[in-house]
Amino acid sequence: MNGYNIHANGIRHHLLHYAGTGPQLLLIPGITSPAITWGFIAERLTDRFDVHVLDVRGRGLSQAGDLDYSLDAMADDVLEIIKVTGMQTPVIMGHSMGARTAIRAACKDATGISGLILLDPPVSGPGRREYPSKWPWYEDSIIMASKGCTAEDMAAFCPTWTLEQRALRAEWLHTCQLDAIKTTFDGFHTDDIHVDLPHIKLPMRLVVAGNAPVIGDDDVAEIRTLAPHIDVRTVENAGHMIPWDNLDGFIDAVQDFEA
């Protein structure tokens, strides 16, 4: 694994590269997941892809501070990162917030993207049901981490995770800037990704967490009407953080994706 920094869309972005021999894959983590926390997953993905994991603005080692943290800004980041790095039409894999970012980026300009793997994207939005996670879960854990906390402290927020996974989150969660996270959380309820889907003709796969309330059967049916060509896989015995709960099931659900 090698880390590197680039300047794109007006700011500094940090990425981690896990070298593989397959097609390039740009992985966009979720709302409070610095790139390093996806390391154990990226290592498995190298059997199929050449993996680059992004620290999304305001998180990890990417630039933070007084920035635009909107969905559109994050989507523009993705498009510019592809150009600046010289990636050759990578597959974009996004988890949760990252999946919504991938959808918006592909709607804006799909020419530099070969396909999308969408991992349990929130289907909340204007006039829709709320995202099932509540704001205090994010705020309380980030404030705790900003003061310094242990893996044992993090168990109150991530009780099913391994000690190693909780320790890594305890180490890195403080890098998630609170107002950046709040902007994203609010955007789950104000940004409409459903209107983007009919405009995307790329190969797409939706990966649903079988034990999470984020995407239901009715949501899958609606997504299929908006993007009839989308392939849908469900990972059983997995909550919203799919590979944390069922890594082998997650790998099975994504490794055969063809763009």
pLDDT over 70 percentage in the chain: 100
What CA–CA distance (Å, rounded) separates 25 from 46?
Answer: 9
Per-residue confidence (pLDDT) for residue 24, from 0 to 100: 98
Per-residue confidence (pLDDT) for residue 200, from 0 to 100: 98
21-43 pLDDT, tens digit each: 899 999 999 999 999 999 999 99
Distance of CA 165 to the CA centre of its chain: 17
186-232 pLDDT, tens digit each: 999 999 999 999 999 999 999 999 999 999 999 999 999 999 999 99
What CA–CA distance (Å, rounded) separates 77 from 198?
Answer: 22
Domain ranges of the chain: 2-131+190-254
H or E stretch at 206: strand 204-209
What CA–CA distance (Å, rounded) separates 182 from 103?
Answer: 20
Question: Which amino acid type is present at position 7?
Answer: H
10-19 pLDDT, tens digit each: 999 999 999 9
pLDDT value at 155 more than 90: yes
- pTM for the full model? 0.98
CATH hierarchy code of domain 2-131+190-254: 3.40.50.1820
Would you call 45 helix, strand, or coil by DSSP?
helix
